[in-house]
Structure 1
Amino acid sequence: MFGNIGWGEFMILLVAALVILGPERLPGAVTWVTKALRQVREYAGGATQQLKDELGPEFEDLRKPLSDLNELRGMTPRAAITKHLLDGDDSIFTGNFDDRKPSSGPASGGAAGRPASSPLADGEKPPIDFDAT
């Protein structure tokens, strides 16, 4: 419940509540807040159960994109781009283009059958890709 609040912040809130409400009204306020939180939790649980009952197996289809979004929330922007846009190939960020896995497509080899990463000899013309022109 207090996952983002540390002990120091909790003590400051407690002292502020004690000063604002006073010692005679503080126990009643704490009781009211706990009852309200419990009721909100029951409403949320009931709404979730009602959605599961009405949607059936489609409820999991609805939860899948939400779980994907929650997974992205914990990722750094670089990790999200690498995973979803670049299919895990982070060579654009690291500069290690020689270490990446060669793809099985036509771009993996040149027109002369030579790998695309080998340098050209002096005076040699680059190969022409007729599919690209």
Structure 2
Amino acid sequence: MFDSIGWGEILVLIVAGLFILGPERLPSAAAWLGRTIRQVREYATGAREQLRREFGPEFDELRKPLEELRGLRDFNPKRAVQRTLFDDDPDPFGLRSNGHSSGPNLSKSTPPTPPPPERLAPNERPPIDPDAT
């Protein structure tokens, strides 16, 4: 139940309860909260056991879709898209290979790169294009 609540959050709740309820009412409020949580757990366990008795072996079949829904908590959209689009080919564009793959070669379709521009000498002014300014 407290999987997503850390000790820091619990400490903040205790301090807030101390300020809101005061030191004289805080122990009775904590005891009431503990009894209530225990009672809710007992109700949930009783309901689960009653469903298991009534449904019998079909109860496990009903739990399978619920287990799949729990897996959605760890859903990663990026991974889902990768799995959907590229599940058959882990390297669809040939980007991770050393050039020895059957994937497409991107260098054939790209134009040759122009040579880098010459560097200016120290204290040399760059050329100005009057039409560009």
TM over 0.5: yes
**Which protein shows a greater Rg?**
2
- Gaps in structure 1 of 5+ consecutive residues: 100-116, 120-133
Residues 34-53 of structure 1 aligned to structure 2 (within 5 Å)? 34-53=34-53
- What letter corresponds to residue 43 of structure 2 in structure 1? Y
Contact 2:93 2:104 (8 Å CA) reproduced: no
Q: Runs of at least 4 residues of structure 1 off by over 6 A? A: none
Letter in 2 for 1:89: D
Aligned to 1:57: 57
Instruction: Report how many aligned residue pairs link the two structures.
Output: 100
SS at match of 1:17: helix
Does residue 80 of the first structure (1) align with residue 55 of the second (2)? no
Extract unaligned runs of 5+ from structure 2: 97-102, 106-133
Aligned residues of 1:82 and 1:89 also touching (Cα < 8 A): no
- Pair 31,39 (structure 1): closer, same or farther in 2 beyond 3 Å: same
Aligned-CA RMSD value:
2.9
Residues 45 and 18 (structure 1), Cα distance of their counterparts in 2 relative to 1, 3 Å cut: same
Q: TM-score, normalised by structure 1?
A: 0.61
- Give the aligned residue type for 1:28: S
Q: TM-score, normalised by structure 2?
A: 0.61
Matched ranges for 1:20-39 at <5 A: 20-39=20-39
After TM superposition, the structure 1 = structure 2 runs for residues 1-133 of structure 1, keeping only pairs within 5 Å, are 1-81=1-81, 85=84, 88-89=87-88, 91=90, 94-96=91-93
Task: Return the alpha-carbon distance in structure 2 between the equivalents of residues 68 and 90 of structure 1.
Answer: 26
Q: 1:41 to 1:118 in 2, by over 3 A?
A: closer
Aligned residue type for 1:95: P
Query: Does 1 or 2 have the higher relative contact order (CA < 8 Å, sep 6+)?
Result: 1
Q: CA deviation at 1:68?
A: 1.3
Sequence identity percentage: 51
